[in-house]
A and B are shown apart, each in its own frame.
Chain A
Amino acid sequence: MIGLSSYLVLAALVFSIGLFGVLTRRNAVGILLGIELMLNAVNINLVAFARYNGDLTGLIFTLFTISITVAEVAVGLAIVIAIFRVRRTVEADRLDLLRG
């Protein structure tokens, strides 16, 4: 039997990898992938706790999260495409319109 803490460590690892990707990836699509990883780490946590507590709410919540994630990716990719059309690039370093 694998304990709860193993799941949590896995989730933390996946989250960290996702965060690392978000912070270091230069391509906007890569950043979106990182965000996906972070969201899935959350899903792992939800499922693990649901199983541990014997409460189905977490599982159902996870289903919602997945579907919303899909929507989010769709919107995110649409934004990326829109940016590409305007700026002819999706490199995150060069998208610095907010620079002070």
Chain B
Amino acid sequence: MTLNVGLPLLVLAMPLVSFVLLAIVGPLRRTGRGAGLVSIAAIATSCAAAVFVWTQGFVAERTWSWIPADGGPVATVGVLVDSISNAMLVLVTLVSLLVQIYSLAYLGDERPAALGRYYTYQSLFVFSMLGLVLAPGFLQMFIFWELVGLCSYLLIGFWYERPAAARAAVKAFWITKLGDVGFIVGIVLLWSATGTFEFTELFEKAQANALAVPGLAAIMCLIYLGAVGKSAQFPLHVWLPDAMEGPTPVSALIHAATMVTAGVYMVTRTEPLFALVPGVLTLIAWVGAFTALLAATMACVEGDIKRVLAYSTVSQLGYMMAAAGSGAAPAGFLHLLTHGLFKALLFLAAGAVIHAVGTNDIFRMGGLFRAMPQTAIVFVVGTLALAGVPPLAGFFSKEAVLGGVWEAHLTGPFLMLALTALLTAFYMFRVVFVTFFGRAHAGGHPHEAPWAMRGPLWLLAALTLVVGIRLAMHGVEAAEEAPPGWLPPFSVGLALAGGALAWAMYQRGAIDPARVSAVLAPLDYLARRRYGLDALYAGLYRGIILGFSRLIGWIDRYFVDGILNALTALTLRAGDALRHIQSGRAQDYVYGVAFGVLLLFVWAQLWR
């Protein structure tokens, strides 16, 4: 069967149809569950089409001119379908489908109107994300980039009555915007230097060495800044942990599996351009590795189960970026895909736990294995995948990343990433032991989640396993040269060591956590305070922005308004003084007229 470009377009169009339907038809949206079913039906169609396109290995590019001009259109819109976008389409539609099904149960207690709103945003998000994935050029990518940012804002602030959620939404919006400004400036500079937004054209120029643009390194740095904001790289990572104020399915979809990986996807997509500026690539690798390590240390001291996962996401995004920066973009992309699966799994499982016990604090959970064994099992599967234990998916992609970084002779980032692998296993098993195995806490009767929630969990767990086995059987295609032989035992050893440490500290009690934190007091102090970065941003915001606005306010109030007030006061005084001329007696006016006429006569006599 011959495929045409219509099928990828169908994938893109279904969520849009659902969004428009839900947005325009108010009564349908207010049914809540009905809206959810519409959205799920659309995304299911989308997902089936995406899987079909992916299995056929369809490759195509089709563009339509958008801003026509003499000598070719200024900008085009269209779809670029290749192996990267195909895989991404499947990931996005699949995780969205599972998350939307899950949400039906997780958010079942919401008011119908709120649930309808949720599904409207979800549809818009899926459409935007798919548009971003399929974008054939920077301009279209930027537009959808902003749209997913908007959806992220709307969904973080879904419970907008809660001040923390509203603040987190605004924070996420502002901080990612900071990166986006760099992104758009970079895009426009690149366009003014090359005259095109199209990836294909840019890559051809890059291949032919015709892209010797002055300041290309700076331009690529600016474009990378967009990825820093979106993919929560240091120093713009502070928004992601706060984004956990949103509903858990949103965290799973947007802030773990799809939107935050947009930065990595963009760097992967435009890898030929980044390859022209090795300096920027090295920077990306270092920043990525540093982000990974920094976030991992913060995850180790966090007590909120969702925030642990959020820091873990930041950390894994650092992994992907480090791979992309080491010239091993395929490895990073593979990690993106596998991470999307098992991190969504972890988040949804965490959501099931939170749903059952009604708190985010892992130290108020405990012994949940007996109450909800299924959730515990899938959570452990996700944990093992994240820690990098074979034969689960995370092991192979993580090893590919480490191999890529090692091959690029970036010893510093490699060591940071290796330490991160150890810490990853540690903090994840810490959560597992404390939440599922520790002493049970009194109060409440936690129970398994309904099937609408467990189904997606089992499916994701199975996929994590299947993808891992598939990778084990076929080998990692991403790696161009085989990584050194000592690497797999090394990374497994790190994972096991981290797990063992967590077991010793939180399960056996052989090592007292309080004493460890006492020994590492300065680090513990810093990590608990998020290395002061949030405080720094808050301080900067208060100091600079609020100070500046106070200054402007002062000038407005006392200088600009002062001039106006002086003028009005003058006018009032003058009017007050002149008022007395108006006696109101007609005779006085006649007197004035007569006197004036007399003066005119005299004047006429004298100056004739």
Contacts and interface: CB of A to CB of B under 8 A. Distances in A.
Contacts of B587: 22-24, 31, 92-93
Contacts of A22: 587, 590
A8 interface: no
B582 A99 contact: yes
A100 B590 contact: no
B486 interface: no
Contacts of A86: none
Contacts of B581: 100
B593 to A, nearest CB: 10
Contacts of B578: 100
Question: Which of B579, B581, B587 has most A Cβ within 10 Å?
Answer: B587
Contacts of A96: 583-585
B584 A23 contact: no
Interface residues of B, number: 13
A95 interface: yes
A100 B585 contact: no
A23 B585 contact: no
A27 B323 CA distance: 106
Contact of A92 (B579, B580, B582, B585): B585
A23 B580 CA distance: 19
A50 interface: no
A59 interface: no
Contacts of B591: 23
Interface in A8-39: 19, 22-24, 31
A2 interface: no
Contacts of B580: 100
B594 interface: yes
A93 B579 contact: no
B442 interface: no
A98 B590 contact: no
Interface string A46-70: 0000000000000000000000000
A31 B586 CA distance: 10
A1 interface: no
Nearest to B578: A100
A93 B583 CA distance: 9
A99 B584 CA distance: 4
B56 to A, nearest CB: 90
A92 B581 CA distance: 17
Interface string B572-608: 0000001111111111001100100000000000000
B586 A100 contact: no
B525 to A, nearest CB: 75
Contact of A23 (B582, B583, B594): B594
A4 B581 CA distance: 41
B579 A95 contact: no
Contacts of A100: 578-582, 584
Nearest to B589: A98
Contact of A97 (B579, B584, B590, B594): B584
A99 B585 CA distance: 7
Interface string B432-455: 000000000000000000000000
A99 to B, nearest CB: 3
A24 B587 CA distance: 8
Contacts of B579: 100
A99 B578 CA distance: 11
A93 B585 contact: yes
A97 B589 CA distance: 13
A97 B581 CA distance: 14
A92 B580 CA distance: 18
Question: Which of B582, B584, B594 has most A Cβ within 10 Å?
Answer: B584
A86 to B, nearest CB: 15
Contacts of A97: 584
Interface string B154-195: 000000000000000000000000000000000000000000
29 contacts: A19-B594, A22-B587, A22-B590, A23-B587, A23-B590, A23-B591, A23-B594, A24-B587, A31-B587, A92-B585, A92-B586, A93-B585, A93-B587, A95-B585, A95-B586, A96-B583, A96-B584, A96-B585, A97-B584, A98-B582, A98-B584, A99-B582, A99-B584, A100-B578, A100-B579, A100-B580, A100-B581, A100-B582, A100-B584
Interface of B: 578-587, 590-591, 594
Given A19-B594, A31-B587, A100-B579, 17 more contacts: A22-B587, A23-B587, A23-B590, A24-B587, A92-B585, A92-B586, A92-B587, A93-B587, A95-B584, A95-B585, A95-B586, A96-B583, A96-B585, A98-B582, A98-B584, A99-B583, A100-B580
* In the A-B complex, the 3 residue pairs with the closest CB atoms: A99-B584, A100-B582, A96-B584
